[in-house]
Structure 1
């Protein structure tokens, strides 16, 4: 059985536009492989419960992923506290070798660097491998998630795919 691409959505609203664009990216990364979506909004009441079986299952899904898409709306030039609480479950190098794409959604272009300056560092700290730049999507482009991702995918998927293939084979 092949490892799935796991999409972690840090939006506090389930079924958000952030989830839609992140899932679209997960499908593009996975190609014909499986995609699993972890909506942290569904786990919000359990994130600080060390005995939560559902959170433990989400953590294990992330650890076993062929690749990750980690997505958040931009709040105060950074990612959500919900996503931070989940990422705090992972120690240094816990995601070592997992190809990871950070994705952030924002209402204005002046937040474009948030994906690189706020989300990327925490993912690096927990060992995620990020061979490409992150994805920044304006809210105004969310009506067509696939179109919003087209340029990034054309440039970066060829770089991401070798690491994904290696993880799937492992």
Structure 2
């Protein structure tokens, strides 16, 4: 599993939440973590070796969590710059993507499904699971991650094995 974090602040709450979600969804393994802020200006162009390696890491993952804080009612430009590195339609083929967003209140609770999921689908990810929206202040103690993982872990496990085996077409 790979965790991709698009928060412009290093070592953010978004990073913490994404790692907690990864651990809850796949408790038997340690996720690979890509904190995109470490790539900085390299995301603005094409051909940077560190960016290419990050893209390769995500492409080779069975499951990738894409995490962002809610900025101006959507995901961050930092995450968008990274997602632009993937080819449309096939860039995330064979990857099950889980959209995760954090915010200050419930106003943007649908943002993971309405804003982040469509771009992940556009670049070829299987996005069958609902996105998860967390309160940036209470996610570590409110039980939302555990409830989500308890409900969706079996589905994710089955789906990831079928997608990586080529048995499932990409869908939303």
The answer, yes or no, to whether TM exceeds 0.5 is: yes
- Provide the C-alpha distance between the structure 1 equivalents of 2:164 and 2:92, rounded to a whole number of angstroms: 15
Matches within 5 A, 1:2-151: 5-92=1-88, 93-144=90-141, 147-151=143-147
Deviation of 1:153 after TM superposition, in Å, equals 1.0
Change over 3 Å in CA distance of 1:169–1:127 after alignment to 2: closer
Q: Identify which of 154, 157, 163 aligns with 2:159.
A: 163
Q: Indicate the SS of the match to 2:100.
A: strand
SS class of match (2:46): coil
Higher helix share: 1
Structure 1: runs of 5+ lacking an equivalent:
none
In the alignment, the residues of structure 2 paired with residue 67 and residue 87 of structure 1 have an alpha-carbon distance, to the nearest angstrom, of: 15
Q: CA deviation at 1:166?
A: 4.1
In structure 2, distance between residues paired with 1:18 and 1:46: 21
Moved over 6 A (4+): none
**Distance in structure 1 (CA, Å) of the matches to 2:139 and 2:63:** 23
Q: Give the 3-state SS of the residue equivalent to 2:39 in structure 1.
A: helix
1:133-163 C-alpha deviation (Å, 9 max, x unpaired): 0010011213438x33011111111111112
Gaps of 5+ in 2: 167-172
Please give the TM-score of this superposition, normalised by the length of structure 1. 0.90
Q: For 1:111 and 1:135, locate their aligned partners in 2 and report how far apart those are by CA, in whole Å.
A: 11
